[in-house]
């Protein structure tokens, strides 16, 4: 029996017609597995109305999947159009909003700093966008101010450039919003796992640029307890904290002991936090 992908190639023009076939061929040739309507317009010399009809028919026939308005995923020829197929969710996320980077729990997982895997992709942007579900995965968008939108790098996934927060910014972002990474214990695990890889000058500089005293307090306390910094670092961090107590983990109840050195309410038992060092 002729392989599925060869069969599709052979009857591409016959089954789809020349205009649809040309679009599919150009997308495949360039590796545009996830693309926008604007991308498609740049590939073929069709007017917008004609392209809209072609895209609609290709979705109906199973050659494309619609992610959201104006954004599509090409179903590879190796995959039967009746079968469930999901392109890399990171690649999909890269097409949903601009500017953006993938951060928080998703970046922790991408960098190998957590074993926990959620069915949520966290996308950070200076623009507001409603989250949605696609193929069983929740795309959650976190709007931040322009002055803290920094610290991301490009990685290639399936020949597509995708932005992720670097390891240091991932840690700092998670310290700012522990609810987006599973709580303070996930951050402790990440710090300990990456202890030989992190640039501590960079992580402290990032924390300073965030202008959020709770980050400074949590970072200083954790670095001290994990023996991951030096006295000069502590001197700067302690000089940057503000009055008033912050919760070590805002996801947990407000009970525990107060640490006056870092102005923190330690609402997680220290033996639980430091148990990662015994692993």
> What CATH code is carried by the domain that includes residue 48?
1.10.10.10
Find residue 66's DSSP bridge partners.
72
Q: Which domain holds residue 250?
A: 90-278
Structure confidence by residue, pLDDT tens digits, 60-105: 888 898 999 999 988 865 554 444 444 588 999 999 999 999 999 9
What mean pLDDT do residues 142-159 have? 95
**First and final C-alpha spacing in the chain:** 53
Taking phi over 0 as left and psi of -120 to 50 as alpha, with beta for the rest, 25 belongs to: alpha
The answer to whether residues 41 and 138 belong to one domain is no
Domain boundary among 87, 121, 139: 87
User: What's residue 117's pLDDT?
Assistant: 74
Domain boundary among 87, 116, 147: 87
Neighbour-count burial of 253, counting CB atoms closer than 10 A to its CB (0-12 exposed, 13-18 middle, 19+ buried):
exposed
Contact 4, 78 (CB under 8 A): yes
Burial class (CB in 10 A: 0-12, 13-18, 19+), 139: buried
The answer to whether 55 and 39 are in contact (CB under 8 A) is no
Residues 94, 82 within the same domain: no
Check the CA dihedral 215-218-220-223 and report its sign.
negative
Please state the pTM of the whole predicted model: 0.81
Q: In the predicted model, is pLDDT for residue 231 greater than 80?
A: no
State the pLDDT at residue 12.
52
66 lies in the same domain as 141: no
Q: How many domains does the chain have?
A: 2
């Amino acid at each position: 029996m002729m392989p599925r992908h060869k069969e599709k190639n052979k009857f591409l023009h016959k089954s789809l017609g020349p205009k649809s076939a040309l679009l599919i061929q150009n997308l495949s040739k360039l590796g545009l597995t996830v693309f926008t309507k604007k991308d498609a317009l740049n590939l073929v010399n069709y007017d917008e109305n004609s392209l809209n009809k072609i895209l609609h028919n290709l979705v109906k026939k199973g050659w494309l999947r619609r992610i959201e308005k104006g954004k599509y995923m090409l179903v590879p020829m190796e995959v039967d159009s009746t079968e469930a197929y999901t392109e890399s969710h990171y690649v999909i996320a890269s097409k949903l909003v601009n500017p953006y980077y993938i951060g928080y729990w998703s970046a922790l997982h991408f960098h190998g700093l957590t074993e926990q895997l959620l069915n949520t992709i966290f996308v950070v942007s200076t623009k507001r966008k409603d989250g949605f579900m696609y193929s069983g995965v929740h795309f959650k968008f976190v709007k931040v101010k322009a002055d803290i939108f920094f610290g991301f790098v490009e990685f290639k996934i399936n020949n597509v450039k995708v932005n992720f927060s670097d390891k240091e910014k991932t840690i700092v972002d998670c310290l700012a919003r522990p609810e987006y990474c599973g709580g303070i214990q996930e951050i402790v695990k990440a710090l300990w796992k990456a202890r030989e890889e992190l640039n501590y000058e960079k992580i402290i500089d990032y924390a300073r640029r965030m202008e959020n005293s709770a980050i400074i307090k949590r970072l200083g306390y954790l670095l001290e307890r994990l023996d991951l910094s030096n006295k000069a670092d502590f001197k700067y961090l302690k000089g940057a904290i503000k009055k008033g107590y912050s919760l070590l983990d805002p996801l947990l109840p407000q009970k525990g002991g107060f640490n006056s050195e870092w102005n923190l309410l330690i609402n997680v038992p220290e033996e639980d936090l430091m148990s990662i060092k015994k692993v």
